[in-house]
Amino acid sequence: MAAAPARAQPEHHAVDSTDAASRQVDVLAQGLTQLAARLAQELQGLDGDGRLRRAVVDIPDARSRLDAVATLMEQAAHTTLDLVEQAQHEVRELRQHDDPDVVARADRLRDTVLQVAEAQGFQDLSGQILGRVNRILESMHDGLQDLIVRAGLTPPSAADASPDDALAGPQVAGLQRHDTASQGDADALLEDLGL
Amino acid sequence: MNPKTKILVVDDFPTMRRIVRNLLGELGYSNISEADDGQTALPMLKNGDFEFLVTDWNMPGMTGIDLLKAVRADPKLARMPVLMVTAEASKEQIVEAAQAGVSGYIIKPFTAATLAEKLERIAARMQAAA
């Protein structure tokens, strides 16, 4: 029978270590709960001033403006190339002239016009750069939106957009928040006012 | 190079296609067609009788380097001269284009003089090879 307490000994130890383990789990769980609560609080505070929401709403607006810049530049380059082609046509006729001095001048003019055409290459290069910035903005927007959803923050709405500047600047298709006037509208308005 | 040489210009930017066409026109080449990426260009090359390819690198769909590789892999097109005109200016990319079998490489922005010089150089090499 002397062996009995000896057998009980390890059992007792086992109960002890189970208790210790469960106490450790309790402490860990408590710590984790506190950490989670603090994290939730921090995350709520993360967008306390609504800057993340505003960014999520403003970024698509900024992207539309970049697209508008790319379109304006492309149109300008096409307009310039139209004029280049007209000038080249004139120059070709001038080069058939009898007066060698006129032909020499036409040759110089031909080089100048060609350089104008070359210079329009800016549109391709700046368009590629704008496209890259636009893709960066897109992934920033998606990342922020994802963060807001995962953190359970207030989802953004149109009301979060940055307030309009008093001077809206150039009109961007699809982004006019106010009635905009054409030159004709402005003339009519001024005429009504006696100007 | 013969002014009647049939040339395909591939670039996703319409203004750049117009500029290349214009500069080629001023250099005396008038038989020019356009495509906006490799995917559009490749069937045109396979079904057409183009003699010269000018291509951008960075394009959606099929890039210029993939188009170059496809051209070099096609027995009918393999010997066609390919001039790359691109904003990609890293040494690694120039080496990659050379390894893929590019005939000439122009970094944007470029001038008509550079274009003329590369065309002459390619034509001279073609003559030497013939």
Contacts of B116 in chain A (CB under 8 A): none
pLDDT at B17: 97
Whole-structure pTM value: 0.78
A114·B11 Cβ contact <8 A: no
A117·B110 Cβ contact <8 A: no
- List pLDDT tens digits, range B72-86: 999 999 999 999 999
- C-beta separation of B64 from B85 below 8 A: no
DSSP 3-state of B69: helix
Distance from CA of B129 to the nearest CA of A (A): 32
**Is residue A116 less than 8 Å (CB to CB) from chain B?**
no
Name which of B89, B88, B21, B30 is nearest B54 in CA terms. Answer: B21
pLDDT band, residue A1 (cuts 50/70/90): very low
Which of B22, B23, B117 to mutate to test binding with chain A, by most A CBs within 10 Å of its CB? B22
**Is residue A126 less than 8 Å (CB to CB) from chain B?**
no
pLDDT at A13: 61
Chain B residue nearest residue A88, CA to CA? B26
- List pLDDT tens digits, range A32-85: 999 988 887 777 777 778 888 889 999 999 999 999 999 999 999 999 999 999
> Residue B112: which of A85, A114, A123 has the nearest Cβ?
A114
Distance from CA of A121 to the nearest CA of B (A): 6
- In this structure, of A6-15, A66-75, A138-147, B63-72, the range with the lowest mean pLDDT score is A6-15
Chain A residue nearest residue B24, CA to CA? A114
- C-beta separation of B83 from B122 below 8 A: yes
Contacts of B30 in chain A (CB under 8 A): none
Stretch B37-59: mean pLDDT: 96
Stretch A142-168: mean pLDDT: 84
pLDDT at A189: 84
Stretch A148-155: mean pLDDT: 84
B109·A85 Cβ contact <8 A: no
pLDDT at A83: 97
B18·A125 Cβ contact <8 A: no
